[in-house]
Chains A and B, each alone.
Chain A
Amino acid sequence: MEPRPRSFYVLAAFFGLFLLFLYGPTITIAILSFQGPAGGLTFPMNGMSLYWFFDLFQEQAVGDIWGSFRRSFALGFMVMVSTVVVSVMGGLAFRHRFAGSTILFYVIITALVIPSILVSLGVGLLFSQSGLEVHWATSGFGAQLTWTLPFGLLIMFAVFNRFDGSFEEAARDLGATPWQVLRHVVIPIIGPSLIGVALFGFTLSYDEFARTLLTAGSYNTLPLEIFGMTTNVTTPVLYALGTLTTLFSFLMIAAFLLLAWISTRRKARKGSDAGKGMV
């Protein structure tokens, strides 16, 4: 192997600093959430304790954290399932041009670039003016889908751009019905990417703030609850909550990545070379 040029070390150092910049703040609040009872929002540490984590579970003043966590989790799950199903259907349809496909594509791009607060405002107005009540599971759910679906679809477009149609042809030649082709050929091949779509669906929903702001109704989701805390809580209990939800996010991401890794390996073991060249 040829020796590494000097630029490699400079760039590697830059990359290291970038990672520090990305993760440093998160790690800092993780450390600070273990402040002693007398500790403040910044260093020095006044002892080490789990005081603020206990505080989080006891304190009534900070609102309904567990309720909002449950709602966020349920909503994230709903958004995840819908995003996967709708994106796969959309991705399959978009493999061929059809009348109106270009317009629909630009609507998808609009959904991606429209400022979130406009979706929040528009959906909120739409519901209130048509006499419907805003609720996280209806208006909030729909508003979040306008953010997760474009991501899911872009991933599916990328996947199907690299999809080798001869596998389907072979299956059809062997007498498979369209459903069998989808179930036994297409889905197994695109499987690992679907896990990626699911990851996007869940996490983008779980952390979404702007689009749920005016569409969640009287029951807050977790990001809304946290935002409420930032304006009136000035103790490390905020960090404790931040650390816990970030930890939860990391666990979910790890689970999804593990799943994707396992399914990629399973695919490889079954001897198919489909999807090779996909990164």
Chain B
Amino acid sequence: MSRTLKSWMMVSPLAAVLLVFLILPIVMIVTVSFWQATEWSIIPAFIFENYEFLFGSPVTYKVFANTFKYAAITWAFTLGIGFTVAYFLAFHVRSLTWQIALFLLCTIPFWTSNIIRMISWIPFLGRNGIANSALMSWGVVDEPLDWLLFSDFAVILAFVHLYTLFMVVPIFNTMMRIDRSLIEAARDAGASGAQILWYVIVPLTKPGIMIGTIFVLTLVMGDFITVRFMSGSQSANVGRLISNDIALLQYPSAAATAVILLITVLLVIAILLRFVDIRKEL
């Protein structure tokens, strides 16, 4: 049996799942984006109306801009926090057992429910929540702040809360593979701590940062539930635009938006993948 045939037999279940539940659905979305919708049904057609409407509406541009805004701000925070945490774990915690234990502590929330983790911000951020009571008792503010919950602030807080570990994990992984003698060499050559960090560790950690970036950007750009829940339906991103159309059974319109979102996300990823070879970094 030829090696190629054997390999394809091994990956056949994988290929079948991806074909039926990924490729065909994408083809379906692209197809439906050219269909026509009435109030209660969708009709096969080949019209560009959905795209014309999408590109003709100022809402689209606003919502896409908003999506990029969320992605950029979340990225900056998750990178800052994620890098610092990974750096601490990789270079300041000395025993491997502790490293693994603390690393697991960081990753456990990833395996629990995102929706519950969002809900759990309510007692903190609400009008009578912990944050407001604390601020008032410290005399920082006179009356409760309204913008803590159901605002862009809450959305970004939740994103950072949910997705920072997608930065921590790949960055920690690359940091652990940095040859420690390089750092020693830098120190012997007279580099200060800050110089070692900036000229040795950061460049060598770039692949991890890129992988984390890919995760965070795609998760934030494709999100619809966090924005809906944490903004109290006051803000919108592209995902919400799609889910609103779905709720109104306007599938062709949802599909057209979905196609544009997919193209945007894949473009971003294509650019990022130029900087990192994922298979080499695993």
A positions within 8 Å CB-CB of B: 1, 4-5, 7-8, 11-12, 14-15, 18-19, 21-26, 28-29, 32, 41-43, 82, 85-86, 89-90, 92-94, 96, 98-101, 104-105, 107-119, 121-123, 125-126, 129, 142-143, 145-146, 149, 153-154, 157-158, 161, 199-200, 203-204, 206-207, 209-210, 214, 223, 226-227, 230, 238-239, 242, 245-246, 249-250, 252-253, 257, 279
Specify the chain B residue showing the minimal Cβ separation from A105: B279
CA distance in complex: A199, B111 (Å): 8
CA distance A12 to B89 in the complex (A): 9
Q: Across the two chains, which residue of chain A brings its CB closest to B280? A: A161
Residues of A with C-beta under 8 A to B221: 115
Q: Interface digits, B242-273 against A, CB 8 Å rule (1 contact, 0 not)?
A: 11001000010011001001100110010001
How many residues of B are in contact with the other chain, CB < 8 A? 86
A14 to B84, CA, bound (A): 8
B120: interface (CB < 8 Å): yes
- Assess whether B17 is in contact with A113, with CB atoms less than 8 Å apart: no
Binding site for A on B (CB under 8 A): 3-4, 6-8, 10-11, 13-15, 17-18, 20-26, 28-29, 32, 81, 84-85, 87-89, 92, 94, 96, 100, 102, 104-106, 108-109, 111-117, 119-124, 126, 128-130, 133, 161, 164, 173, 176, 193, 214, 218, 221-225, 229, 239, 242-243, 246, 251, 254-255, 258, 261-262, 265-266, 269, 273, 278-279, 282
Nearest B residue to A91 by beta-carbon distance? B10
Most B C-beta atoms less than 10 A away, residue of A22, A109, A252: A22
Known: A86-B13, A157-B282. Is A93-B112 also a contact (CB below 8 A)? no
- A-B residue pairs in contact (CB < 8 Å), sample of 14: A11-B88, A22-B164, A28-B120, A28-B124, A85-B13, A98-B4, A105-B279, A114-B26, A117-B222, A118-B222, A121-B255, A226-B113, A226-B116, A239-B119
Whether the pair B115, A115 counts as a contact (CB closer than 8 A) is no
A23-B109, A114-B262, A119-B25 are contacts. A125–B87 as well, Cβ < 8 Å? Answer: no
Residues of A within 8 A of B229 (CB): 230
Report the bound CA distance from A270 to B54 in whole Å: 63
B265 to A115, Cβ gap below 8 A?
yes
Q: Are A90 and B109 in contact, CB atoms less than 8 angstroms apart?
A: no
Residues of A within 8 A of B261 (CB): 115, 118
CA distance A157 to B250 in the complex (A): 40
- With A28-B130, A98-B8 known to touch, is A15 a contact of B102 (CB < 8 Å)? yes
What DSSP secondary structure best describes chain A's contact surface? helix
Query: Are A93 and B108 within 8 A (Cβ)?
Result: no
- Residues of chain A lying within 8 A (CB to CB) of residue B265: 113-115
- Asked whether, in the complex, the Cβ of A142 is within 8 Å of the Cβ of B20, the reply is yes
CB distance A257 to B85 under 8 Å?
no
Provide the bound-state CA to CA distance between A161 and B281, in Å.
Answer: 9
Q: Apart from A118-B242, A200-B111, list 10 A-B contacts with CB within 8 A.
A: A98-B3, A104-B11, A109-B273, A109-B278, A113-B265, A115-B261, A125-B28, A210-B225, A230-B119, A279-B96
Residues in A with CB closer than 8 Å to B254 are 121
CB-defined contacts of B104 to chain A, threshold 8 Å: 257
Measured between beta carbons, the chain A residues less than 8 angstroms from B225 are 209-210, 227
Are B120 and A26 in contact, CB atoms less than 8 angstroms apart? yes
Residue of A nearest to B273 (CB): A109
Which residues of the other chain, B, contact A112 by a CB distance below 8 angstroms? 218
Q: Are B24 and A126 in contact (CB under 8 A)?
A: yes
Contacting residues, chain A, for B6 (C-beta < 8 A): 93
A123-B116 in contact (CB<8A): no
| A223, B115: Cβ atoms closer than 8 Å | yes
B214 to chain A, nearest CB (A): 7
Q: Considering the chains assembled together, what is the distance between the CA atoms of A83 and B261 in angstroms?
A: 28
Contacts of A207 in B (CB 8 A): 111-115
**Residue among A25, A117, A129 making CB contact with B120, cutoff 8 Å:** A25
List chain B residues, Cβ under 8 A from A94: 11
**Which chain B residues lie closer than 8 Å to A238 at the CB level?**
119
Distance from B109 Cβ to chain A, minimum over Cβ atoms (Å): 5
Q: Using A107-B22, A250-B108 as known contacts, say yes or no to A25 and B117 having CB atoms under 8 A apart.
A: yes
- Chain A to chain B: the 10 pairs with minimum beta-carbon distance, closest first: A115-B222, A122-B25, A25-B120, A93-B10, A98-B7, A203-B111, A142-B21, A158-B282, A11-B88, A113-B218
Contacts of B15 in A (CB 8 A): 104
Q: Which residues of A contact B242 (CB under 8 A)?
A: 117-118, 121
**Are the CB atoms of B121 and A116 closer together than 8 Å?**
no
Task: Establish whether residues B92 and A118, one from each chain, have CB atoms under 8 Å apart when the complex forms.
Answer: no
